Chain A
Amino acid sequence: MTTTTTIVTRGDRTVRRSSKRVEPIYYLFLLPTLVLFTLAITVPAVMGIFFSFTDSIGIGTWSFNGLTNYIAAFSDPAILQSYLFTFGFSIATVVVVNVLAFLLAVGLVSRIRFKTGLRAIFVIPMVISGIIIAYVFNFLFSNSIPALGSATGIPWLSTSILANPDLAWVGIVIVTAWQAIPGTLLIYIAGLLSIPGEVYEAASIDGAGRFQQLTRITVPLVAGYFVINIVLGFKGFLNAYDIIKGLTDGGPGTATRSVAMTIIAGFNGGDYAYQMANATIFFIVAILISLLQLSVTRGRNAL
């Protein structure tokens, strides 16, 4: 709300000042960025969409083939499976990350000791490279945990979950969550600290217990932060690549292949135009989700 008002007043003010022409130096400030941006993002995006209607293999001659790539993509089990996996994995990870991060945040803002130290530790995963921590977990999942399983005689622990097509996704969710929790956690902490303490005092005077305070006060008051975290998280997880690469490389078989991995694999397989059609579909999905995000957050701001 406040931002909108400032923009409006500022707009009025600048209108008066700048019916004059723009000082040339401002073009110098903006144009290099616009040119670089166009060359680096817009041109490739347009190129990709263009070639998705052709039979190009990335080099050499090509000809238009209309919607052939799109029709093929919609009935390609490999592509459908990658979407199914990517969405399923993203939803599972969003749930795990938000539940754990919220609980940790509630703990971290309560009257605990060693607050700074604990918070510092919980944030560490955020600064570690996804591919490297995936390699570390890969070792734990495929060597250490099975070794532990056979030593203690627990059969389901003694084989690597990453080698099991039905369970490999669990490993990916664990590692992705491990890395994504800190960022989410910090946003929840900011949300929790924005709740005035008086609200809780009033509630406890009225006889609300700790659990009631959590469900009746805390959760409703940080609802906006839930929305931010869920949307940002979901958008990020849809692009999953690094961690999957380090854990399973899409395997076993193609059980954990994300959309991003399918698209990239097209470059080596000579499916350039075909995967550009896939990328265009993915792009449209990303836009739809962003529009959903805008409408949801806009709705929030209006409240």
Chain B
Amino acid sequence: MSTQTLLTTKALTTSGRKPRIRMERVNWSGTIILILCTVTVLIPLYVTISMAFKTSKQAVDGNAFSLPAPFSLDGFAQAWDLTKFPVGAGVSLLVTAGTVFLTVVLAAFASYAIVRNWDHRLFRYSFFYLLAAMFIPFPVVALPQIQLTGLTHLDNPFGVILLATMFQLSFSVLLFTAFLRSIPLELEESARIDGASTWQTFWRIIFPLLGPMSATVGIFAFLYAWNDFMMPSLIISDPALQTLPVRQNLFQNQFSSNYNVAFASYLMAMAPAIVAYLFTQRWVMEGVTQGAVKG
């Protein structure tokens, strides 16, 4: 809803002056072309859903585009047991929630300290130090990290939370510091005159103001932590504690011809993110735009 308001208000301010012209000139050819283009997005999703509801007998016939007949839930039941879905979903939720929480909190605190003490060398250099991680892709440090997490018994979901947070940090600090610099100091000064401590000023006044930025930072952390395959597959050593995306490789090795089970499993793994997206579209789109343009 509001996404539309955001964008249409722009459209309206440019075309609202001449409502007649706007009414006449709906770009129908463009609309039709774009609707046709959605097929490229929808086909893989349609195939996933229709395959998931087939019986295993129908699924092996190789026709991905047929509708399920009869409609069957067997795939889901089997996928649930094979991938131990409740455990996988639990681990994925833990990793995602942990990463989002830790990223937002650590980055917000650190950014506040950095911006308010910019003229102190330690804080200013810390900013550039944290930012430098943007130059380090995960594959570069992956091998030593696997070694170290093994040595420190962090070769589990908690290790993934820690590492994923650290990789999100530079980008998040960049967003938070940019935003904090735009908050007028007067706001805090009046709170301090009223006797608020630094902690209270941050927690009661600044952190709530950071809300929209926290949403952006959180969305990026969520998408990364929920969907990532590479890091958990390398860091978590016990297959029983793997996240949902990593569990799907089960269908590449064993059970590879039980297509309906595989697709039911894929669907269960991707559905939470899609549903969450459909409810938070506006935040996601604004957040990504803001994040990418600033970052």
**A interface, CB within 8 angstroms of B:** 3, 6-7, 10-11, 13-15, 18, 22-23, 25-27, 29-30, 32-34, 36-37, 40-41, 43-45, 47-48, 51, 58, 104, 107-116, 118-133, 135-137, 139-140, 143-144, 147, 178, 183, 186-187, 189-190, 193, 196-198, 228, 232, 238-239, 241-242, 245-246, 259-260, 263-264, 266-267, 272, 275-276, 279-280, 282-283, 286-287, 290
Q: Are A33 and B15 in contact (CB under 8 A)?
A: no
> In whole angstroms, how far apart are the Cα atoms of A183 and B64 in the complex?
28
- A89 to B: closest C-beta gap in Å: 15
Can you name the residue of chain A whose Cβ is closest to the Cβ of B162?
A: A40
The answer to whether A34 and B166 touch (CB under 8 A), given A104-B34, A140-B64, is no
Q: Are B118 and A44 in contact (CB under 8 A)?
A: no
Residues of A within 8 Å of B110, CB to CB, are 29-30, 33-34
The answer to whether A263 and B143 touch (CB under 8 A), given A126-B288, A183-B292, is yes
Q: Are B30 and A107 in contact (CB under 8 A)?
A: yes
Q: Which of A33, A107, A140 contacts B34 (CB 8 A)?
A: A107
Residues of A within 8 Å of B148, CB to CB, are 43-44, 47
Residues of A within 8 Å of B136, CB to CB, are 41, 45, 283, 286
**B interface, CB within 8 angstroms of A:** 3-4, 7-8, 10-11, 13-15, 22, 25-28, 30-31, 33-35, 37-38, 40-45, 47-48, 51, 62-65, 106-107, 109-110, 112-114, 116-120, 123, 126, 129-130, 133-148, 162-163, 165-167, 169, 178, 181-182, 185, 197-199, 202, 223, 226-230, 234, 244-246, 248-249, 251-252, 259, 262-263, 266, 269-270, 273-274, 276-278, 281, 284-285, 288-289, 292-293, 295
Q: Are B245 and A129 in contact (CB under 8 A)?
A: yes
Residues of B within 8 Å of A32, CB to CB, are 106
> In whole angstroms, how far apart are the Cα atoms of A57 and B254 in the complex?
31
Residues of B within 8 Å of A245, CB to CB, are 229-230
Can you name the residue of chain B whose Cβ is closest to the Cβ of A13?
A: B185
Q: Which of B48, B139, B143, B246 contacts A58 (CB 8 A)?
A: B143
Q: Which of A119, A128, A132, A228 contacts B285 (CB 8 A)?
A: A119
The answer to whether A3 and B178 touch (CB under 8 A), given A111-B26, A127-B284, A131-B248, is yes
Number of A-B pairs, beta carbon distance below 8 Å: 296
> In whole angstroms, how far apart are the Cα atoms of A282 and B143 in the complex?
13
Per DSSP, chain B at the interface is: helix
Can you name the residue of chain B whose Cβ is closest to the Cβ of A40?
A: B166
Q: Are A108 and B34 in contact (CB under 8 A)?
A: yes
Can you name the residue of chain A whose Cβ is closest to the Cβ of B102?
A: A36
Can you name the residue of chain B whose Cβ is closest to the Cβ of A21?
A: B120
Q: Which of A41, A183, A275 contacts B133 (CB 8 A)?
A: A41
The answer to whether A144 and B65 touch (CB under 8 A), given A131-B248, A239-B138, is yes
